[in-house]
Structure 1
Amino acid sequence: MADPKSIDGVLVEWGDRLFYPGNRRVAARPEPRLRLPVHQRAAAIRRRIEATVIRRAPQVMVKVTGGGRGMKAIAAHFRYITKNGRLDVENERGETSKGKEALHELFEEWRYGGSLIGDESPRREAFNIMLSMPRGSAPPEIVLRAAREFAREELAGHKVVMVLHDHQANPHVHLSVRAEGADGRRLNPRKADLHRWRETFAEKLRGWGIDAEATRQGTRGVTRRYDALWQQKARADGRLMRDTSTGKTGASTRRTLDESRQAWSAIAAALEQSGQPDDQRLAMGIRSHLGDRDRLVVKRPEIAAGRDRG
Protein backbone atom coordinates (compact mmCIF):
# COMPACT_ATOMS: atom_id res chain seq x y z
CA MET A 1 0.00 0.00 0.00
CA ALA A 2 1.53 3.30 -1.11
CA ASP A 3 1.68 6.54 0.85
CA PRO A 4 -1.43 8.69 0.14
CA LYS A 5 0.77 11.75 -0.50
CA SER A 6 2.74 9.79 -3.08
CA ILE A 7 -0.48 8.73 -4.81
CA ASP A 8 -1.72 12.33 -4.83
CA GLY A 9 1.57 13.41 -6.36
CA VAL A 10 1.19 10.94 -9.23
CA LEU A 11 -2.40 12.05 -9.81
CA VAL A 12 -1.36 15.70 -10.01
CA GLU A 13 1.64 15.03 -12.25
CA TRP A 14 -0.23 12.93 -14.81
CA GLY A 15 -3.71 14.33 -14.28
CA ASP A 16 -2.55 17.85 -15.11
CA ARG A 17 -1.30 16.54 -18.46
CA LEU A 18 -4.68 14.98 -19.19
CA PHE A 19 -7.04 17.65 -17.91
CA TYR A 20 -5.20 20.92 -17.26
CA PRO A 21 -2.51 21.62 -19.86
CA GLY A 22 -1.29 25.22 -19.93
CA ASN A 23 -3.66 27.57 -21.76
CA ARG A 24 -2.94 30.89 -23.37
CA ARG A 25 -5.43 33.51 -22.20
CA VAL A 26 -7.33 35.91 -24.43
CA ALA A 27 -8.09 38.33 -21.61
CA ALA A 28 -6.87 38.85 -18.07
CA ARG A 29 -8.47 36.33 -15.72
CA PRO A 30 -7.71 34.89 -12.29
CA GLU A 31 -4.91 32.36 -11.97
CA PRO A 32 -5.77 28.79 -13.04
CA ARG A 33 -8.07 27.00 -10.64
CA LEU A 34 -5.49 24.34 -9.82
CA ARG A 35 -2.98 26.66 -8.09
CA LEU A 36 -3.93 24.79 -4.91
CA PRO A 37 -2.30 22.44 -2.39
CA VAL A 38 -1.46 19.03 -3.81
CA HIS A 39 -4.24 17.18 -1.96
CA GLN A 40 -6.85 19.61 -3.28
CA ARG A 41 -5.49 19.34 -6.81
CA ALA A 42 -5.54 15.55 -6.52
CA ALA A 43 -9.17 15.73 -5.37
CA ALA A 44 -10.01 17.77 -8.46
CA ILE A 45 -8.31 15.18 -10.67
CA ARG A 46 -10.31 12.41 -8.98
CA ARG A 47 -13.53 14.30 -9.77
CA ARG A 48 -12.53 14.63 -13.42
CA ILE A 49 -11.69 10.91 -13.60
CA GLU A 50 -15.06 10.07 -12.04
CA ALA A 51 -16.89 12.23 -14.59
CA THR A 52 -14.90 10.99 -17.58
CA VAL A 53 -14.57 7.23 -17.12
CA ILE A 54 -17.21 6.32 -14.52
CA ARG A 55 -20.23 8.55 -15.20
CA ARG A 56 -19.15 9.35 -18.75
CA ALA A 57 -20.66 12.79 -18.37
CA PRO A 58 -21.97 14.54 -21.50
CA GLN A 59 -19.29 16.55 -23.27
CA VAL A 60 -19.93 20.19 -24.14
CA MET A 61 -19.22 21.56 -27.59
CA VAL A 62 -17.85 25.03 -28.23
CA LYS A 63 -17.05 25.57 -31.88
CA VAL A 64 -16.01 28.60 -33.92
CA THR A 65 -18.14 28.21 -37.03
CA GLY A 66 -16.76 31.15 -38.97
CA GLY A 67 -16.68 34.91 -38.87
CA GLY A 68 -17.60 37.95 -40.86
CA ARG A 69 -15.12 39.92 -42.95
CA GLY A 70 -17.24 43.05 -43.07
CA MET A 71 -20.79 44.08 -42.15
CA LYS A 72 -22.30 42.42 -45.19
CA ALA A 73 -21.27 38.99 -43.93
CA ILE A 74 -22.01 39.84 -40.28
CA ALA A 75 -25.52 41.04 -41.14
CA ALA A 76 -26.18 37.91 -43.18
CA HIS A 77 -25.22 35.73 -40.22
CA PHE A 78 -27.43 37.76 -37.86
CA ARG A 79 -30.36 37.29 -40.22
CA TYR A 80 -29.68 33.55 -40.34
CA ILE A 81 -29.41 32.95 -36.59
CA THR A 82 -32.47 35.12 -35.81
CA LYS A 83 -34.54 33.64 -38.66
CA ASN A 84 -34.65 37.13 -40.18
CA GLY A 85 -35.70 38.74 -36.91
CA ARG A 86 -38.28 36.17 -35.79
CA LEU A 87 -36.19 34.88 -32.87
CA ASP A 88 -35.14 36.80 -29.77
CA VAL A 89 -31.62 38.17 -29.82
CA GLU A 90 -29.74 39.08 -26.64
CA ASN A 91 -26.75 41.43 -26.44
CA GLU A 92 -23.81 41.62 -24.03
CA ARG A 93 -25.84 43.85 -21.67
CA GLY A 94 -28.56 41.23 -21.31
CA GLU A 95 -31.04 43.26 -23.40
CA THR A 96 -33.32 41.30 -25.71
CA SER A 97 -34.92 42.44 -28.93
CA LYS A 98 -36.85 40.99 -31.83
CA GLY A 99 -37.95 41.95 -35.33
CA LYS A 100 -36.44 43.36 -38.49
CA GLU A 101 -36.25 46.93 -37.18
CA ALA A 102 -34.36 45.81 -34.06
CA LEU A 103 -32.06 43.77 -36.28
CA HIS A 104 -31.30 46.84 -38.42
CA GLU A 105 -30.45 48.84 -35.27
CA LEU A 106 -28.11 46.05 -34.25
CA PHE A 107 -26.34 46.23 -37.61
CA GLU A 108 -25.78 49.96 -37.15
CA GLU A 109 -24.55 49.56 -33.57
CA TRP A 110 -21.95 47.02 -34.67
CA ARG A 111 -20.93 49.03 -37.72
CA TYR A 112 -20.24 52.25 -35.79
CA GLY A 113 -19.65 50.98 -32.22
CA GLY A 114 -15.85 51.17 -32.37
CA SER A 115 -13.65 51.22 -35.45
CA LEU A 116 -15.88 51.54 -38.51
CA ILE A 117 -16.73 48.20 -40.11
CA GLY A 118 -17.30 48.56 -43.84
CA ASP A 119 -19.40 46.26 -45.97
CA GLU A 120 -16.22 44.38 -46.86
CA SER A 121 -13.08 44.04 -44.78
CA PRO A 122 -9.70 42.37 -45.33
CA ARG A 123 -9.75 41.09 -41.74
CA ARG A 124 -12.21 39.13 -39.63
CA GLU A 125 -14.47 41.60 -37.81
CA ALA A 126 -16.54 39.03 -35.92
CA PHE A 127 -16.34 35.44 -34.75
CA ASN A 128 -19.33 33.10 -34.87
CA ILE A 129 -19.42 30.57 -32.04
CA MET A 130 -21.82 27.73 -31.33
CA LEU A 131 -22.29 26.30 -27.85
CA SER A 132 -24.22 23.09 -27.37
CA MET A 133 -24.72 19.89 -25.42
CA PRO A 134 -25.59 16.38 -26.64
CA ARG A 135 -29.24 15.66 -27.32
CA GLY A 136 -31.40 15.39 -24.19
CA SER A 137 -28.63 16.34 -21.73
CA ALA A 138 -29.76 19.88 -20.85
CA PRO A 139 -32.96 21.98 -21.14
CA PRO A 140 -32.77 24.83 -23.67
CA GLU A 141 -33.19 27.55 -21.04
CA ILE A 142 -30.25 26.21 -19.05
CA VAL A 143 -28.05 26.09 -22.16
CA LEU A 144 -28.89 29.76 -22.75
CA ARG A 145 -28.17 30.74 -19.13
CA ALA A 146 -24.82 28.98 -19.21
CA ALA A 147 -23.99 30.61 -22.57
CA ARG A 148 -24.85 34.02 -21.11
CA GLU A 149 -22.52 33.46 -18.16
CA PHE A 150 -19.84 32.11 -20.48
CA ALA A 151 -19.97 35.26 -22.60
CA ARG A 152 -19.78 37.57 -19.59
CA GLU A 153 -16.66 35.81 -18.34
CA GLU A 154 -14.78 34.99 -21.52
CA LEU A 155 -15.85 37.80 -23.86
CA ALA A 156 -16.06 40.77 -21.50
CA GLY A 157 -15.50 44.09 -23.24
CA HIS A 158 -16.73 42.85 -26.62
CA LYS A 159 -20.07 43.34 -28.35
CA VAL A 160 -21.94 40.05 -28.32
CA VAL A 161 -25.20 38.72 -29.71
CA MET A 162 -26.76 35.45 -28.60
CA VAL A 163 -29.65 33.51 -30.10
CA LEU A 164 -31.07 30.25 -28.74
CA HIS A 165 -32.12 27.58 -31.24
CA ASP A 166 -34.44 25.17 -29.45
CA HIS A 167 -36.36 23.91 -32.48
CA GLN A 168 -33.81 21.22 -33.37
CA ALA A 169 -32.87 17.92 -31.75
CA ASN A 170 -30.12 19.42 -29.60
CA PRO A 171 -30.73 22.96 -28.27
CA HIS A 172 -27.77 25.23 -28.90
CA VAL A 173 -26.79 28.88 -28.73
CA HIS A 174 -25.39 30.84 -31.65
CA LEU A 175 -23.10 33.54 -30.34
CA SER A 176 -21.36 36.23 -32.39
CA VAL A 177 -18.66 38.44 -30.91
CA ARG A 178 -17.20 41.62 -32.39
CA ALA A 179 -13.47 41.01 -32.82
CA GLU A 180 -12.48 44.46 -31.57
CA GLY A 181 -13.03 45.04 -27.88
CA ALA A 182 -13.85 48.29 -26.10
CA ASP A 183 -10.16 48.75 -25.34
CA GLY A 184 -9.19 48.34 -29.00
CA ARG A 185 -7.69 44.89 -28.55
CA ARG A 186 -8.77 42.23 -31.01
CA LEU A 187 -9.93 38.72 -30.27
CA ASN A 188 -7.88 36.00 -31.94
CA PRO A 189 -8.87 32.62 -30.46
CA ARG A 190 -6.36 29.77 -30.69
CA LYS A 191 -6.78 26.07 -30.02
CA ALA A 192 -5.85 26.48 -26.34
CA ASP A 193 -8.44 29.23 -25.95
CA LEU A 194 -11.13 27.01 -27.44
CA HIS A 195 -10.41 24.31 -24.88
CA ARG A 196 -10.57 26.85 -22.07
CA TRP A 197 -13.88 28.07 -23.48
CA ARG A 198 -15.18 24.49 -23.29
CA GLU A 199 -14.01 24.27 -19.69
CA THR A 200 -15.80 27.52 -18.83
CA PHE A 201 -19.04 26.51 -20.56
CA ALA A 202 -19.04 23.14 -18.78
CA GLU A 203 -18.41 24.88 -15.47
CA LYS A 204 -21.38 27.21 -16.03
CA LEU A 205 -23.64 24.27 -16.89
CA ARG A 206 -22.59 22.43 -13.74
CA GLY A 207 -23.51 25.56 -11.79
CA TRP A 208 -27.09 25.04 -13.01
CA GLY A 209 -27.09 21.38 -11.99
CA ILE A 210 -26.23 19.88 -15.39
CA ASP A 211 -23.71 17.06 -15.57
CA ALA A 212 -21.22 18.37 -18.13
CA GLU A 213 -17.56 17.83 -18.94
CA ALA A 214 -14.99 19.32 -21.30
CA THR A 215 -12.41 16.57 -21.63
CA ARG A 216 -10.22 16.59 -24.72
CA GLN A 217 -10.83 13.97 -27.40
CA GLY A 218 -7.30 12.65 -27.01
CA THR A 219 -7.82 12.21 -23.27
CA ARG A 220 -10.96 10.18 -23.92
CA GLY A 221 -9.36 8.22 -26.76
CA VAL A 222 -11.75 9.70 -29.30
CA THR A 223 -10.53 10.45 -32.83
CA ARG A 224 -13.70 11.74 -34.43
CA ARG A 225 -13.60 14.67 -36.86
CA TYR A 226 -17.01 16.32 -36.59
CA ASP A 227 -19.21 17.50 -39.43
CA ALA A 228 -18.91 21.01 -40.81
CA LEU A 229 -21.72 23.41 -39.90
CA TRP A 230 -23.40 23.07 -43.31
CA GLN A 231 -23.51 19.29 -42.87
CA GLN A 232 -25.07 19.64 -39.41
CA LYS A 233 -27.73 21.99 -40.80
CA ALA A 234 -28.46 19.71 -43.73
CA ARG A 235 -28.84 16.69 -41.44
CA ALA A 236 -31.11 18.61 -39.04
CA ASP A 237 -33.32 19.59 -42.02
CA GLY A 238 -33.44 16.02 -43.28
CA ARG A 239 -31.49 16.84 -46.45
CA LEU A 240 -28.45 14.73 -45.52
CA MET A 241 -29.04 11.26 -44.18
CA ARG A 242 -25.62 9.62 -44.23
CA ASP A 243 -23.04 10.14 -41.48
CA THR A 244 -20.25 12.27 -42.93
CA SER A 245 -18.08 12.45 -39.81
CA THR A 246 -14.70 10.76 -40.07
CA GLY A 247 -11.89 9.64 -37.82
CA LYS A 248 -8.65 11.56 -37.42
CA THR A 249 -5.52 9.72 -38.46
CA GLY A 250 -1.83 10.38 -38.76
CA ALA A 251 1.25 10.72 -36.58
CA SER A 252 -0.12 13.56 -34.46
CA THR A 253 -3.24 11.58 -33.56
CA ARG A 254 -1.18 8.49 -32.68
CA ARG A 255 1.15 10.55 -30.53
CA THR A 256 -1.75 12.18 -28.65
CA LEU A 257 -3.41 8.83 -28.02
CA ASP A 258 -0.14 7.26 -26.87
CA GLU A 259 0.56 10.12 -24.46
CA SER A 260 -2.90 10.01 -22.95
CA ARG A 261 -2.71 6.22 -22.58
CA GLN A 262 0.59 6.57 -20.75
CA ALA A 263 -0.97 9.09 -18.37
CA TRP A 264 -4.07 6.98 -17.74
CA SER A 265 -1.94 3.90 -17.08
CA ALA A 266 0.27 5.77 -14.58
CA ILE A 267 -2.78 7.09 -12.73
CA ALA A 268 -4.43 3.66 -12.64
CA ALA A 269 -1.26 2.05 -11.29
CA ALA A 270 -1.06 4.66 -8.52
CA LEU A 271 -4.73 4.32 -7.55
CA GLU A 272 -4.38 0.53 -7.41
CA GLN A 273 -1.82 1.02 -4.62
CA SER A 274 -4.34 2.95 -2.52
CA GLY A 275 -6.21 1.48 0.41
CA GLN A 276 -9.29 3.60 -0.32
CA PRO A 277 -12.26 1.80 -1.96
CA ASP A 278 -13.10 4.86 -4.04
CA ASP A 279 -9.58 4.92 -5.46
CA GLN A 280 -9.84 1.23 -6.29
CA ARG A 281 -13.14 1.89 -8.07
CA LEU A 282 -11.55 4.68 -10.11
CA ALA A 283 -8.64 2.42 -11.03
CA MET A 284 -11.05 -0.25 -12.27
CA GLY A 285 -12.91 2.39 -14.28
CA ILE A 286 -9.67 3.53 -15.91
CA ARG A 287 -8.67 -0.03 -16.81
CA SER A 288 -12.10 -0.56 -18.35
CA HIS A 289 -11.73 2.72 -20.26
CA LEU A 290 -8.33 1.65 -21.61
CA GLY A 291 -9.77 -1.72 -22.63
CA ASP A 292 -12.51 0.04 -24.58
CA ARG A 293 -9.87 2.17 -26.32
CA ASP A 294 -7.83 -0.89 -27.26
CA ARG A 295 -10.90 -2.55 -28.78
CA LEU A 296 -11.56 0.60 -30.81
CA VAL A 297 -8.03 0.49 -32.22
CA VAL A 298 -8.57 -3.13 -33.27
CA LYS A 299 -11.76 -2.11 -35.08
CA ARG A 300 -10.07 0.97 -36.56
CA PRO A 301 -6.59 -0.23 -37.59
CA GLU A 302 -5.91 3.02 -39.45
CA ILE A 303 -5.64 4.74 -36.06
CA ALA A 304 -2.82 2.48 -35.01
CA ALA A 305 -1.15 2.47 -38.40
CA GLY A 306 -1.71 6.15 -39.06
CA ARG A 307 -2.85 5.48 -42.62
CA ASP A 308 -4.88 8.18 -44.31
CA ARG A 309 -8.17 7.22 -45.81
CA GLY A 310 -8.50 7.20 -49.54
Structure 2
Amino acid sequence: MENDKSTLQTSLEANDVIPEKISGSGSSGTSALLAALFNGMGVGLLLGLLLGLAVSPVVSAFIGTLSSLLILLIGLKETYFNTIKSVRIGAFGVFAVVGILSGLYIRSHNPLAPSLNELQEEYKALGYSEKEANNFIVYQEFGLIPPEWKDRLIVSNEASATDKDGKNEKGKTPMMADRNQINMAKRNNVLFSSTVQIGECRMLETSRADMPFNKIKRNFTNSGGTWKELAENIDPDVPEQARVDALLAVRDVICNLTQESAYKIKCIDFGDSLHDMPLKELKSELQKADPFWDQCLTILNEKIDKKHQHKVIVSLVNVLCHE
Protein backbone atom coordinates (compact mmCIF):
# COMPACT_ATOMS: atom_id res chain seq x y z
CA MET A 1 0.00 0.00 0.00
CA GLU A 2 2.82 2.34 0.89
CA ASN A 3 4.44 1.62 -2.49
CA ASP A 4 1.21 2.50 -4.31
CA LYS A 5 0.94 5.82 -2.49
CA SER A 6 4.57 6.64 -3.26
CA THR A 7 4.07 5.85 -6.95
CA LEU A 8 0.91 8.00 -7.11
CA GLN A 9 2.65 10.89 -5.37
CA THR A 10 5.61 10.73 -7.83
CA SER A 11 3.23 10.63 -10.79
CA LEU A 12 1.29 13.64 -9.55
CA GLU A 13 4.46 15.66 -8.99
CA ALA A 14 5.69 14.88 -12.52
CA ASN A 15 2.52 16.37 -13.94
CA ASP A 16 2.44 19.48 -11.74
CA VAL A 17 -0.51 18.04 -9.84
CA ILE A 18 0.39 18.58 -6.19
CA PRO A 19 -2.88 19.03 -4.32
CA GLU A 20 -1.40 21.38 -1.73
CA LYS A 21 -0.02 23.70 -4.41
CA ILE A 22 -3.17 23.67 -6.52
CA SER A 23 -5.77 24.24 -3.87
CA GLY A 24 -3.59 26.13 -1.47
CA SER A 25 -3.66 29.89 -1.20
CA GLY A 26 -0.75 32.26 -1.13
CA SER A 27 2.35 32.78 -3.20
CA SER A 28 2.90 29.07 -4.01
CA GLY A 29 -0.45 28.68 -5.81
CA THR A 30 -0.06 31.99 -7.64
CA SER A 31 3.47 31.14 -8.72
CA ALA A 32 2.32 27.79 -10.10
CA LEU A 33 -0.44 29.46 -12.13
CA LEU A 34 1.92 32.13 -13.44
CA ALA A 35 4.48 29.50 -14.39
CA ALA A 36 1.84 27.52 -16.28
CA LEU A 37 0.65 30.69 -18.02
CA PHE A 38 4.23 31.58 -18.99
CA ASN A 39 4.87 28.05 -20.30
CA GLY A 40 1.82 28.06 -22.51
CA MET A 41 2.41 31.63 -23.66
CA GLY A 42 6.04 31.02 -24.63
CA VAL A 43 5.46 27.90 -26.67
CA GLY A 44 2.27 29.29 -28.20
CA LEU A 45 3.99 32.45 -29.39
CA LEU A 46 6.96 30.48 -30.72
CA LEU A 47 4.82 28.08 -32.75
CA GLY A 48 2.46 30.84 -33.88
CA LEU A 49 5.24 33.08 -35.15
CA LEU A 50 6.87 30.17 -36.98
CA LEU A 51 3.60 29.36 -38.71
CA GLY A 52 2.88 33.00 -39.49
CA LEU A 53 6.32 33.84 -40.85
CA ALA A 54 7.01 30.59 -42.72
CA VAL A 55 7.11 31.06 -46.52
CA SER A 56 8.95 27.85 -47.33
CA PRO A 57 8.51 24.15 -46.52
CA VAL A 58 12.02 24.23 -45.04
CA VAL A 59 10.63 24.95 -41.55
CA SER A 60 7.82 22.38 -41.76
CA ALA A 61 9.95 19.59 -40.27
CA PHE A 62 10.93 21.78 -37.33
CA ILE A 63 7.32 22.81 -36.72
CA GLY A 64 6.23 19.17 -36.82
CA THR A 65 8.90 18.19 -34.30
CA LEU A 66 7.96 21.07 -32.02
CA SER A 67 4.28 20.16 -32.20
CA SER A 68 5.01 16.56 -31.27
CA LEU A 69 6.86 17.74 -28.18
CA LEU A 70 3.91 19.80 -26.94
CA ILE A 71 2.40 16.73 -25.29
CA LEU A 72 5.34 16.77 -22.87
CA LEU A 73 4.50 20.33 -21.91
CA ILE A 74 0.74 20.47 -21.71
CA GLY A 75 -0.32 16.79 -21.41
CA LEU A 76 -3.94 15.87 -21.97
CA LYS A 77 -4.40 12.83 -19.76
CA GLU A 78 -7.72 13.38 -18.00
CA THR A 79 -6.69 11.44 -14.90
CA TYR A 80 -4.35 14.24 -13.84
CA PHE A 81 -6.20 17.17 -15.44
CA ASN A 82 -6.24 20.21 -13.16
CA THR A 83 -6.39 23.99 -13.02
CA ILE A 84 -2.72 24.51 -13.82
CA LYS A 85 -2.92 22.40 -16.95
CA SER A 86 -6.09 24.20 -17.99
CA VAL A 87 -4.30 27.54 -17.72
CA ARG A 88 -1.28 26.19 -19.60
CA ILE A 89 -3.37 24.76 -22.47
CA GLY A 90 -5.56 27.85 -22.69
CA ALA A 91 -2.55 30.17 -22.73
CA PHE A 92 -0.95 28.09 -25.45
CA GLY A 93 -4.04 28.28 -27.66
CA VAL A 94 -4.58 32.02 -27.20
CA PHE A 95 -0.97 33.00 -27.76
CA ALA A 96 -0.58 30.62 -30.71
CA VAL A 97 -3.33 32.62 -32.42
CA VAL A 98 -1.63 35.87 -31.39
CA GLY A 99 1.66 34.58 -32.77
CA ILE A 100 0.15 33.56 -36.11
CA LEU A 101 -1.56 36.93 -36.54
CA SER A 102 1.65 38.74 -35.57
CA GLY A 103 3.65 36.70 -38.08
CA LEU A 104 1.16 37.45 -40.86
CA TYR A 105 1.28 41.14 -39.97
CA ILE A 106 5.08 41.20 -40.08
CA ARG A 107 5.09 39.44 -43.47
CA SER A 108 2.49 41.74 -45.03
CA HIS A 109 3.54 45.10 -43.55
CA ASN A 110 7.30 44.57 -43.08
CA PRO A 111 7.44 46.85 -40.01
CA LEU A 112 11.18 46.27 -39.52
CA ALA A 113 12.02 47.92 -42.84
CA PRO A 114 12.46 51.72 -43.01
CA SER A 115 9.37 53.65 -44.00
CA LEU A 116 9.19 55.53 -47.31
CA ASN A 117 9.69 58.83 -45.46
CA GLU A 118 12.80 57.45 -43.79
CA LEU A 119 14.14 56.27 -47.16
CA GLN A 120 13.52 59.72 -48.59
CA GLU A 121 15.43 61.34 -45.74
CA GLU A 122 18.34 58.92 -46.21
CA TYR A 123 18.63 59.77 -49.91
CA LYS A 124 18.41 63.50 -49.16
CA ALA A 125 21.12 63.10 -46.51
CA LEU A 126 23.35 61.67 -49.25
CA GLY A 127 22.97 64.87 -51.24
CA TYR A 128 20.11 64.03 -53.62
CA SER A 129 17.26 66.44 -54.18
CA GLU A 130 13.76 65.63 -52.99
CA LYS A 131 12.65 64.85 -56.55
CA GLU A 132 15.60 62.52 -57.14
CA ALA A 133 14.95 60.79 -53.82
CA ASN A 134 11.29 60.26 -54.78
CA ASN A 135 12.34 58.82 -58.14
CA PHE A 136 14.71 56.38 -56.44
CA ILE A 137 11.97 55.25 -54.05
CA VAL A 138 9.44 54.75 -56.85
CA TYR A 139 11.99 52.72 -58.79
CA GLN A 140 13.26 50.69 -55.82
CA GLU A 141 10.01 49.94 -54.03
CA PHE A 142 7.46 49.72 -56.84
CA GLY A 143 9.51 48.88 -59.93
CA LEU A 144 8.22 51.93 -61.80
CA ILE A 145 10.52 53.94 -64.05
CA PRO A 146 10.12 57.72 -63.72
CA PRO A 147 9.39 59.43 -67.09
CA GLU A 148 12.60 61.47 -67.03
CA TRP A 149 14.66 58.27 -66.73
CA LYS A 150 13.34 56.52 -69.83
CA ASP A 151 15.75 58.17 -72.24
CA ARG A 152 18.65 57.41 -69.94
CA LEU A 153 18.14 53.66 -69.64
CA ILE A 154 20.75 51.48 -71.28
CA VAL A 155 20.38 47.90 -72.34
CA SER A 156 22.62 44.85 -71.84
CA ASN A 157 26.20 45.59 -70.73
CA GLU A 158 26.58 49.21 -71.82
CA ALA A 159 26.34 50.31 -68.20
CA SER A 160 29.63 48.64 -67.37
CA ALA A 161 31.45 49.77 -70.52
CA THR A 162 32.53 53.14 -69.14
CA ASP A 163 35.79 54.96 -69.15
CA LYS A 164 37.39 56.87 -66.30
CA ASP A 165 35.21 59.92 -67.02
CA GLY A 166 32.04 57.88 -66.54
CA LYS A 167 31.20 57.73 -70.25
CA ASN A 168 30.65 54.74 -72.47
CA GLU A 169 32.23 53.96 -75.81
CA LYS A 170 29.75 56.16 -77.67
CA GLY A 171 30.51 59.13 -75.47
CA LYS A 172 27.20 59.05 -73.66
CA THR A 173 26.98 59.04 -69.89
CA PRO A 174 25.18 55.88 -68.73
CA MET A 175 22.87 56.50 -65.81
CA MET A 176 21.57 53.03 -64.92
CA ALA A 177 21.26 49.46 -66.07
CA ASP A 178 18.19 47.79 -67.54
CA ARG A 179 15.45 47.08 -64.98
CA ASN A 180 15.56 43.37 -65.84
CA GLN A 181 19.21 43.18 -64.86
CA ILE A 182 18.48 44.76 -61.50
CA ASN A 183 15.62 42.33 -60.87
CA MET A 184 17.99 39.49 -61.65
CA ALA A 185 20.60 40.74 -59.23
CA LYS A 186 18.01 41.08 -56.46
CA ARG A 187 16.58 37.62 -57.06
CA ASN A 188 19.76 35.63 -57.50
CA ASN A 189 19.98 34.90 -53.79
CA VAL A 190 16.38 33.72 -53.50
CA LEU A 191 16.11 29.95 -53.24
CA PHE A 192 12.97 27.89 -53.35
CA SER A 193 12.26 24.19 -53.66
CA SER A 194 10.43 22.36 -56.41
CA THR A 195 9.42 18.77 -55.67
CA VAL A 196 9.85 16.13 -58.38
CA GLN A 197 8.08 12.81 -57.90
CA ILE A 198 10.47 10.00 -58.82
CA GLY A 199 8.30 6.96 -58.21
CA GLU A 200 8.27 6.13 -61.93
CA CYS A 201 12.04 5.75 -62.33
CA ARG A 202 11.64 2.03 -63.02
CA MET A 203 9.37 2.75 -65.97
CA LEU A 204 11.99 5.10 -67.40
CA GLU A 205 14.82 2.57 -67.13
CA THR A 206 13.93 1.16 -70.56
CA SER A 207 14.71 4.49 -72.24
CA ARG A 208 18.12 4.53 -73.94
CA ALA A 209 20.18 7.13 -75.75
CA ASP A 210 20.00 5.17 -79.04
CA MET A 211 16.19 5.29 -79.10
CA PRO A 212 14.31 7.88 -81.21
CA PHE A 213 12.92 10.90 -79.38
CA ASN A 214 9.29 9.87 -79.98
CA LYS A 215 9.74 6.65 -78.00
CA ILE A 216 11.59 8.45 -75.21
CA LYS A 217 8.82 11.04 -75.11
CA ARG A 218 6.15 8.33 -74.92
CA ASN A 219 7.89 6.68 -71.95
CA PHE A 220 8.18 9.98 -70.10
CA THR A 221 4.59 10.95 -70.93
CA ASN A 222 3.27 7.62 -69.63
CA SER A 223 5.13 8.22 -66.37
CA GLY A 224 3.05 11.34 -65.80
CA GLY A 225 3.72 14.28 -63.50
CA THR A 226 6.97 16.19 -63.93
CA TRP A 227 8.31 13.59 -66.35
CA LYS A 228 5.41 14.26 -68.71
CA GLU A 229 5.96 18.02 -68.39
CA LEU A 230 9.62 17.60 -69.30
CA ALA A 231 8.88 15.56 -72.41
CA GLU A 232 6.18 17.93 -73.63
CA ASN A 233 7.91 21.23 -72.91
CA ILE A 234 11.52 20.76 -73.92
CA ASP A 235 12.40 23.26 -76.66
CA PRO A 236 11.31 21.83 -80.08
CA ASP A 237 13.95 23.93 -81.85
CA VAL A 238 16.66 21.78 -80.31
CA PRO A 239 17.77 18.70 -82.31
CA GLU A 240 16.07 15.44 -81.31
CA GLN A 241 19.26 13.84 -80.02
CA ALA A 242 19.89 16.83 -77.76
CA ARG A 243 16.37 16.49 -76.37
CA VAL A 244 16.93 12.78 -75.78
CA ASP A 245 20.21 13.46 -73.98
CA ALA A 246 18.58 16.17 -71.83
CA LEU A 247 15.68 13.96 -70.71
CA LEU A 248 17.96 11.05 -69.92
CA ALA A 249 20.36 13.30 -68.02
CA VAL A 250 17.54 14.48 -65.77
CA ARG A 251 16.39 10.89 -65.25
CA ASP A 252 19.86 9.58 -64.45
CA VAL A 253 20.65 12.31 -61.93
CA ILE A 254 17.33 12.47 -60.07
CA CYS A 255 16.80 8.71 -59.90
CA ASN A 256 20.28 8.21 -58.40
CA LEU A 257 20.32 11.14 -55.98
CA THR A 258 17.84 9.67 -53.52
CA GLN A 259 15.92 6.52 -52.68
CA GLU A 260 12.91 8.51 -51.51
CA SER A 261 9.68 8.84 -53.49
CA ALA A 262 10.35 12.49 -54.30
CA TYR A 263 13.28 14.87 -54.62
CA LYS A 264 13.21 18.59 -53.86
CA ILE A 265 15.24 20.55 -56.38
CA LYS A 266 16.40 23.91 -55.05
CA CYS A 267 16.03 26.55 -57.72
CA ILE A 268 16.67 30.24 -58.29
CA ASP A 269 14.00 32.70 -59.33
CA PHE A 270 15.59 34.36 -62.36
CA GLY A 271 12.47 36.36 -63.17
CA ASP A 272 12.38 37.84 -66.65
CA SER A 273 16.14 37.60 -67.08
CA LEU A 274 16.31 33.83 -67.66
CA HIS A 275 16.19 33.89 -71.48
CA ASP A 276 18.72 36.71 -71.79
CA MET A 277 21.23 35.48 -69.23
CA PRO A 278 24.60 34.35 -70.65
CA LEU A 279 25.11 30.58 -70.62
CA LYS A 280 28.13 30.69 -68.33
CA GLU A 281 26.37 32.81 -65.73
CA LEU A 282 23.22 30.68 -65.93
CA LYS A 283 25.21 27.51 -65.27
CA SER A 284 27.13 29.11 -62.42
CA GLU A 285 23.98 30.23 -60.59
CA LEU A 286 22.24 26.87 -60.98
CA GLN A 287 25.26 24.85 -59.86
CA LYS A 288 25.31 26.78 -56.59
CA ALA A 289 21.64 26.08 -55.97
CA ASP A 290 21.47 22.29 -55.82
CA PRO A 291 23.61 19.15 -56.41
CA PHE A 292 21.11 18.09 -59.06
CA TRP A 293 22.03 21.03 -61.28
CA ASP A 294 25.74 20.49 -60.80
CA GLN A 295 25.55 16.85 -61.95
CA CYS A 296 22.97 17.42 -64.66
CA LEU A 297 24.84 20.34 -66.23
CA THR A 298 28.05 18.30 -66.25
CA ILE A 299 26.29 15.62 -68.32
CA LEU A 300 24.69 18.18 -70.64
CA ASN A 301 28.06 19.82 -71.19
CA GLU A 302 29.46 16.47 -72.34
CA LYS A 303 26.52 15.30 -74.43
CA ILE A 304 25.03 18.42 -76.03
CA ASP A 305 26.61 20.92 -78.40
CA LYS A 306 27.26 24.24 -76.67
CA LYS A 307 25.11 26.19 -79.16
CA HIS A 308 22.04 24.21 -78.02
CA GLN A 309 22.77 24.13 -74.28
CA HIS A 310 21.15 27.45 -73.42
CA LYS A 311 17.76 26.49 -74.90
CA VAL A 312 17.88 23.08 -73.24
CA ILE A 313 18.74 24.50 -69.82
CA VAL A 314 16.03 27.18 -70.07
CA SER A 315 13.50 24.44 -70.90
CA LEU A 316 14.57 22.41 -67.86
CA VAL A 317 14.42 25.42 -65.56
CA ASN A 318 10.93 26.35 -66.77
CA VAL A 319 9.66 22.86 -65.94
CA LEU A 320 11.66 21.95 -62.84
CA CYS A 321 11.68 25.35 -61.17
CA HIS A 322 8.05 26.30 -60.96
CA GLU A 323 6.80 26.70 -57.37
Per the TM superposition, whether the score is higher than 0.5 is no
Higher strand share: 1
Q: Which has the higher contact order (CA 8 A, sep 6+)?
A: 1
TM-score normalised to structure 2 length: 0.24
The structure having more radius of gyration, on CA atoms, is 2
TM-score of the superposed pair, with normalisation by structure 1: 0.25
- Determine which structure has the larger helix proportion and give its number: 2
